[in-house]
Amino acid sequence: MNLGHIVGAEFAWLIPGLCLTAFVITLVFGKFLPGRGSYISIAAILGAFLLFCSVFLDFVSNGLTPVSVDIQWIYIGDLGITWGFQVDRISVVMLGLVTLISLIVQVYSVGYMDGEPRFGWYFTLQALFAAAMLVLVLADNLLFLYIAWELVGLGSYLLIGFWYERRSASEAAKKAFITTRIGDVGLLIGIILLFKATGTFHISSIIHAANSGGISENTLICASLLIFLGAMGKSAQFPFHVWLPDAMEGPTPVSALIHAATMVVAGVYLVARMLPLFEMAPGVLPTVAVVGLFTFLFAGSIALVMTDIKRVLAYSTVSHLGLMMISLGAAGLAAAMIHLVAHGVSKALLFLGAGNVMHGMNNETNCLNMGGLQKKMPITAYSFMIGALSLAGIAPLAGFFSKDEILLAVFHKMGPIFLTLTLIGVFLSSLYMARLFLIVFRGNYRTERAKKAEESPAIMTVPIVVLAIFAVTLGAVVIPIANYQGLGTFIDASHHFRMLSWLTVMSSLIAICGMAVGWLYYGTSRLSPEKMSLRLGAFYRVIINKYYVDEIYQWVIDNLILAFSKFLAVFDRVVVNDTGIDGAGMSVLLSAIKVRLIHTGRLYNYSTAMVFGLLTVAIFWWFI
Amino acid sequence: MTLSLGFFYIAAAFVIFGGLGVVLTRNIIYAAFALLISMVGIAGIFLLAFAEFLALVQLLIYGGAVVIVVLFALMLTRIEDFRNLSDNKQWPLAGVIALCLFAVLAASAIFSPVPTFDREGVGISELGETLFTYWAVPFEVASLVLLVALIGAVVLVRRSDHNEEVQEEGQE
Amino acid sequence: MIELLHFQVLASALFCLGVYGVLARKSAVLILMSIELMLNAVNINLVGYAAFRGFEEHHRSLGHVLVVFVITIAAAELALAIAIILRLYRNRGSVNVDNIELLKG
């Protein structure tokens, strides 16, 4: 049954191509189309998803050999810059994730953004983003990837600042763009370093060159760290995490798509792609793991005290991205990718559920104003619960298997201390998920508005249910059955699916513990969170102010950067412009004003000059 | 000190003092007469160089025509106060330059002597003969120059109606 | 004994007096007179050379001939200069060279 021959893997470039076409069409004709362009965009992404299925089947039936297509673009001397698309193990996984989540989110958006005046523009942006992200996933050379990287950042900026009439939204969009930009500089320098060392942008060629020792160790270390810097920016690792919570100013489906499932994992994907390079540079992988671990714990602690439902989910995303980085740092490529997929599905589910809650609560996001919503919106509540359990890592949901794989990799590579800290993070993860669910959906109605909340229309609940089903079944894909060796081996051929029983048991226990503690604090009134916060006092204040990171950044900007900018501005105006450029011109003018006075117009002055000249000639003539 | 040298010094005194008068005096009419004295002195110098014809011509033309024309010009231009005409603002500088020039010229004359013969003159007949045969063309050209100057001068000072108005204004 | 040197020094002295007059006098007519002085200085010099140097055949009277021409040209120039000064006086009402500075700047 060769369904793969419907569309072969070499036509993978059609997938982003469809979305790009949809972008252009909705950009130009959006107002005149039925549904203001939303149908075109959804049709394109649906087509993309179906294409993905076909490409996937073709890829599998060809024995998982990578397929790449190169379209020549420009030649600069010997260097040819191509648009290269490569379908291989990890890119095909990402392809599926991106198309599926995009499809679900866009369908959901039709309901969520109903009544929005700029409805068509929203779908135009969604199409742009989908196209850019798909290109990023398929790119086989670093330059093309960088272009897509920037385009994805642009899409994120436009979508975060979608309601730009709100000051906070436009500020958040700016913050996101600038913060990721800092990382992008590192990425660009890293790419250029690699180009200088190997003469090509092509990823496979670079890895091949590094394998055969063609790149010096210093270059490898520098380039890897710089590329990781770019990944840190995009994937919101500490200290670049500050943009992600603020990005919640955008519409909730945008948060679900971009800041849970697709864009933020671009960083993880990049590191995964370049992992062979990172492995060869000593000290890089431990750095990656340490940064990831710090982010995991840091963001997890903040998520514990946030009261805005979207902020909790945002910090949770940051935290789990840290977990993915830990996995990559432990050279657990398969584990990281599995968690990427599992987290993507679960977090998208959670965000869309939050969107439903906000929709029913008239855009209220403070979860202290909610409570008891399970009775009012049962579908949302149960789906949300599934997402929360999956993220906490309870079996047999998707999150359990991915967490297990990560812990396995950490245990094998990073030692017991690391493992302990990671387990603390796991505990935090399940604790704050339980807290969130219980505050929002259980207990008594805290406000009048909560009493009047209703379930959302079908167009918004069906996507959530679909995601919940995926969250439940994805776990099974990881386990090897018969000839199928499991998702892990699919991703990374050197991976073997194993379960270390004591580790699995311990991690499950910790997760359940977290749930239990959450239940104790928030589900019943046995323990009081208020008393706990009072007891912790100053420590609590630090966490709830997000460790004052934003304030530190603002101080640096105000006192260091802006002061330097002022100095540069003055220097530019005074030295470069007034003296250098104007000066050259003005010197002519000013000297002319002085020299002009030689022309007095008076006869005797001219005569004097003539005689003086005569005198000089006479003297010279006589002496010489 | 021979007689001719003495005469030379007397004539030179006329010349120099006349020249000083021209350039230094405040009264412009005195300047014109100083010019006349200078010309007479120069005629004396010419005589001492055995250039009789030239001395004659000098007296006639300069002493006669030139000084008269200058006086006419003075009269026609109505110098505001011809009794008290001061010098330019830059007369010290002019003095310095003139002195320097004199120093250079005199020094070059003293320190680069030219081999000389005995002093002798050229007769009128010889002068006339050369002038009308060998130098005939420049002679004719010179006469042409005079003609042009004559006509030009007349044309330049011719009054037309336009100039008349300006002169009325100038006189106010 | 009169030497060529005397003529030369006298000529340069008179010339320099003329130069001073041209540079330092305010009235145009006075400047004209100073120019006449300069021309006469040249004449003295030429006559001196004519007296003390020997020339061969056709050039025996070269010095005198040149003096004749100088005098001629000086007269012509004088006439034209006076005409210009008169014109100037008519246009501007004075012959003070301090006031003739339209080309200033």
Nearest CA in chain C to A595: C105
CB A503 within 8 A of CB A408: yes
Distance CA B96, CA A266 (A): 88
Nearest CA-CA distance, residue A592 and chain B, Å: 24
Q: What is the pLDDT of residues A219-237, one digit of tens each?
A: 888 999 999 999 998 888 8
Distance of CA A583 to CAs A575, A577, A586, Å? 9, 8, 5
Question: Percentage of chain A surpassing pLDDT 90?
Answer: 14
The whole-number pLDDT of residue C71 equals: 95
Nearest CA-CA distance, residue A583 and chain C, Å: 23
Q: What is the pLDDT of residues A150-194, one digit of tens each?
A: 999 999 999 999 998 889 899 999 999 999 999 999 999 999 999
A·C CB contacts under 8 A: 33
SS3 for A542-573, per residue?
HHHCHHHHHHHHHHHHHHHHHHHHHHHHHHHH
Confidence (pTM): 0.68
Q: A594 CB near a chain C CB, below 8 Å?
A: no
Do A622 and B100 lie within an 8 Å CB cutoff? no
Sequence-distant (6+) residues with CB within 8 A of A273 are A90, A203
CB contacts, 8 Å: A599 with chain C:
103-105
- Confidence grade of residue C81 (pLDDT, cut at 50, 70, 90): very high
Task: Read off the tokens for C73.
Answer: 């040209």
Concatenating the DSSP letter of every residue in A426-482 gives HHHHHHHHHHHHHHHHSS---SHHHHT--PPPHHHHHHHHHHHHHHHHHHHHHS-BT
Nearest CA-CA distance, residue A600 and chain C, Å: 5
- Confidence grade of residue B147 (pLDDT, cut at 50, 70, 90): very high
The whole-number pLDDT of residue A527 equals: 62
The whole-number pLDDT of residue A493 equals: 67
Which chains have 3 or more CB–CB distances shorter than 8 Å to chain A?
A: B, C
Mean pLDDT score across all residues of chain B: 85
- Which of A605, A615, A622 is the closest to B97 by Cβ? A615
User: How confident is the model over A309-318, as a mean pLDDT?
Assistant: 90
Do C51 and B120 lie within an 8 Å CB cutoff? yes
Residue from C17, C22, C32, C88 whose CB has the most chain A CBs within 10 Å, to mutate: C22
Nearest CA-CA distance, residue B106 and chain A, Å: 11
R_g (Cα) of chain A, nearest Å: 30
User: How confident is the model over C70-93, as a mean pLDDT?
Assistant: 91
Distance CA A217, CA A189 (A): 16
User: How confident is the model over A370-383, as a mean pLDDT?
Assistant: 82
Do A622 and B107 lie within an 8 Å CB cutoff? yes
CB A83 within 8 A of CB A144: yes
Nearest CA in chain B to C8: B109
- Confidence grade of residue C102 (pLDDT, cut at 50, 70, 90): confident
Helices (H), B77-160: 91-111, 124-133, 136-157
A·B CB contacts under 8 A: 26
Nearest CA in chain A to C103: A601
- Which of B88, B97, B112 is the closest to A612 by Cβ? B97
Answer whether residue A547 shows pLDDT above 60: yes
Q: What is the pLDDT of residues A6-61, one digit of tens each?
A: 667 677 788 888 888 888 888 888 777 777 778 888 888 888 888 888 888 888 77
Do C16 and B101 lie within an 8 Å CB cutoff? yes
The whole-number pLDDT of residue A213 equals: 78
- Which is nearest to A256 in space by CA: A378, A170, A355, A357? A355
Mean pLDDT score across all residues of chain A: 84
Mean pLDDT score across all residues of chain C: 88
- Which is nearest to A405 in space by CA: A481, A458, A332? A332
Q: A611 CB near a chain C CB, below 8 Å?
A: yes
CB contacts, 8 Å: C32 with chain B:
70, 73
The whole-number pLDDT of residue B161 equals: 64
CB A432 within 8 A of CB A304: yes
The whole-number pLDDT of residue B138 equals: 93
- The interaxial angle of helices A217-234 and A284-303, nearest 10 deg, is 20
Answer whether residue B172 shows pLDDT above 50: no
The whole-number pLDDT of residue A87 equals: 84
